[in-house]
């Protein structure tokens, strides 16, 4: 083999692959990277089995596999695993999973006997399929990073969401509110970036209701303020809407929310539409359908964040430095 051939063999080659769950986000990322998604044949057979075949050689490439784990979560997860397996068997050099919303993230520990730790199982499945790296945004629990025996790039949407709030609201009258004790650290980061005070909603059981009804107590001064509720996800929207009601009951003038992942299951859109919120700001980590895009809902793109992180990984740069620059 000549010197020229050795050089060519050692050249890095980025290739971008996407499942079928969120083509808009994948397309935005490809455009920002100045590349195209690798064409593939993907079929769901009548018995629900999934077939994947890539239409180009992937030998020796740095493969980045994008999939948003929206419902049906299990189908989208299985599709991504099959894509990874196909790339491994076709001799891709490195395979990075891009999962903006990590599936099963809420099952990160055991609360009772005979329960699974499904978030760990997902990490094991990615590794077994052939993934060498995971990239995700705003994990429900940071400890999930330790479930994967390889690099995990944990990205944060907080700068994107917080900067939107700074550009559209009067910060002199803003209070950042944690919906529960578990989100205080994240809320504190918003507070630091926006230079605003912090409040917390403390939830407890009402003894007068046979321990079945949660009472929301607001710790902090919110009267006459614009309250920014922050959380990592909105699923059915029940909890966050009750939190908004509690803030209004304590005299808040306005209530808005900044949430990374718009799961928006079941009655979520109806609840948000009829809630005390003036605006709910989310990212497009998961697809938001035209029917779900009510006037109160603002969707910001995380494609620039993900594309910058992909570029840093491909160039063997620092993803942590990228986050520090935000």
- Which whole-number Å values give the CA distances from 235 to 29, 92, 154, 262, in the listed order? 25, 36, 21, 7
Which domains, and CATH codes, for the chain? Answer: 3-156+304-324 (3.40.50.2020), 158-301 (3.40.50.2020)
**pTM for the predicted model, two decimal places:** 0.92
Angstrom distance (rounded) from CA 49 to CA 226? 49
Catalytic residue flag (residue 296) = no
For residues 135 and 8, the model is more confident at 135
pLDDT band at 322 (very low <50, low <70, confident <90, very high): confident
pLDDT for residue 3 is more than 70: no
pLDDT band at 182 (very low <50, low <70, confident <90, very high): confident
pLDDT band at 98 (very low <50, low <70, confident <90, very high): very high
> Tokens 């990984």 map to which residue?
313
Give strand ranges (E) for the chain.
14-18, 40-44, 50-54, 62-66, 94-99, 133-137, 152-155, 174-178, 198-205, 214-219, 226-234, 254-262, 279-283, 297-300
Angstrom distance (rounded) from CA 268 to CA 231? 15
Q: pLDDT tens for residues 312-321?
A: 999 999 988 8
Half-sphere exposure of 306 (CA within 13 A, CB side): 31
Q: What was the pLDDT predicted at 216?
A: 76
Q: What was the pLDDT predicted at 181?
A: 78
> Which residue out of 88, 203, 248, 296 is catalytically annotated?
203
Q: pLDDT tens for residues 257-271?
A: 999 999 999 999 999
pLDDT for residue 179 is more than 70: yes
Q: What was the pLDDT predicted at 203?
A: 75
Q: What was the pLDDT predicted at 6?
A: 35
- The distance between the two most distant Cα atoms of the chain, rounded to a whole number of Å, is 83
């Amino acid at each position: 083999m000549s010197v020229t051939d050795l050089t060519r063999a050692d050249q890095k080659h980025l290739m971008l692959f996407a499942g079928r769950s969120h083509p808009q986000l994948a397309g935005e990322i490809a455009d920002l990277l100045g590349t195209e998604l690798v064409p593939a044949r993907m079929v769901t057979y009548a018995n629900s089995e999934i077939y994947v075949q890539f239409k180009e050689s992937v030998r020796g490439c740095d493969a980045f596999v994008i999939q948003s784990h929206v419902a049906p979560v299990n189908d989208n997860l299985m599709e991504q695993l099959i894509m990874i397996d196909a790339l491994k068997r076709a001799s891709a050099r490195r395979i990075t999973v891009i999962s903006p919303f990590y599936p099963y993230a809420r099952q990160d520990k055991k609360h009772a006997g005979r329960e699974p730790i499904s978030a760990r199982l997902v990490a094991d499945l990615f590794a077994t399929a052939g993934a060498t790296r995971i990239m995700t945004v705003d994990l429900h629990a940071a400890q999930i990073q330790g479930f994967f025996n390889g690099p995990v790039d944990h990205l944060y949407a907080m700068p994107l969401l917080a900067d939107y709030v700074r550009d559209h609201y009067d910060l002199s009258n803003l209070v950042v509110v944690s919906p529960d004790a578990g989100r205080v650290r994240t809320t504190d980061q918003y507070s630091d970036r926006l230079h605003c005070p912090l409040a917390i909603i403390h939830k407890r059981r009402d003894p007068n209701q046979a321990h079945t009804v949660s009472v929301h107590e607001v710790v902090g001064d919110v009267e006459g303020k614009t309250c920014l509720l922050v959380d990592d996800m909105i699923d059915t929207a029940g909890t966050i809407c009750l939190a908004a009601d509690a803030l209004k009951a304590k005299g808040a003038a306005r209530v808005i929310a900044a949430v990374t992942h718009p799961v928006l299951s079941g009655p979520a859109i109806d609840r948000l539409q009829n809630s005390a919120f003036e605006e709910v700001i989310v990212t497009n980590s998961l697809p938001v359908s035209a029917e779900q895009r009510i006037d109160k809902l603002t969707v910001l793109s995380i494609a620039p964040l993900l594309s910058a992180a992909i570029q840093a990984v491909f160039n063997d740069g620092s993803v942590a430095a990228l986050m520090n620059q935000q």
